Structure 1
């Protein structure tokens, strides 16, 4: 099992964790500004996605977290900022709760709490994977059905998602459906920033960011107006500004 990763820049480390069903290419609008701000940036493809290995098993939260742990330890990263997006917030949260290496935690559009949608998506993905991914990547970047992302970029992301491990794509949804973030939320002590789009059609703020902010004592929540689930892409200038301000605080 090997994880593909990129390690660029110099300075305090920032580790970026993408969500389902994407890859580290999702973070293209963030890498340059973070490096220019004097940060060392590490982004990687979760197992089964992008250019990482595609084993038949291991698409559960414990294994995703073990992968993240192994990468951080192999690179000797300490005092790091850990940034998760969507389902990638799950292992980011779990690692931050258990490790003393995290100085700052960012949870963007966090998908943490179990949802019946996970089972529906899992069943649909097993039968009609590509149409499901197409529909999902419309909702990720849309408000009231209107896409906030240009179509060439959405198609670029869809190609990446379609190329991922079919088994990993389906099994990752089962991991979401079995999630229990309560213990991890209670253990987080690192300053935490939660960023979510006001019009998130995938996990509404009241069921996601607001709940997470109440559960983490050392947290702050920013709701970006007129932004969807994929706010790091659709509103990247505002998102980057928020994260850089938080990291510098």
Structure 2
């Protein structure tokens, strides 16, 4: 069978994006929606999720909501199971929800460590497990885990974040090992340095921005919309034989010294 360009389309496929009330998650929702997906906006706050979904619908994107906290296993399982029963199958899952806590490693507070791991790592495990049980029953599904250049590289003050994103990269491989036989493709999408709310302090730091632009072959910060092409690819039938991989969208940062 010859290649069909329509294999990049997501028409009518339902995509849940965790932490999609703002930032990268919201932009990924826009990108998947532009490719035809029904996007499911997730946030802990119901009013915020509904407002974002309404905004996307005004932009011509089909949007629904699923309200839960990725750190609350009982709550998210109940929300996902109810959504599947009442709204329809989640065929694409994007594990985007994440936080950052910066401090020197020797002074890093234990509470900050545990909070970061609950969101960045435990949340990926719990949400993926809840969604994958339905995907396994159907024999198909796409999981995209948002990794980071810190899945490969470390910097001072963010060692726990790097540890969490390195673990997500390996969890992605584990999902491939366990779930590929059920028709599920699990891959990682690893952004480089993008101008978002999470790293506003770095964007505003002139010295850091100058260093980053010199360090990155592309010579600039990334634009959040530049993540959408890879996300659409990994969510689409065009990537059906790609599994357990991590695609770095970083302007070449991880390719050079």
Shorter-chain TM-score tier: 0.3 to 0.5
In our comparison, the structure showing a higher alpha carbon Rg is 2
- Relative to its length, the structure with more helix (as a share) is 2
TM-score (norm. length: structure 2): 0.44
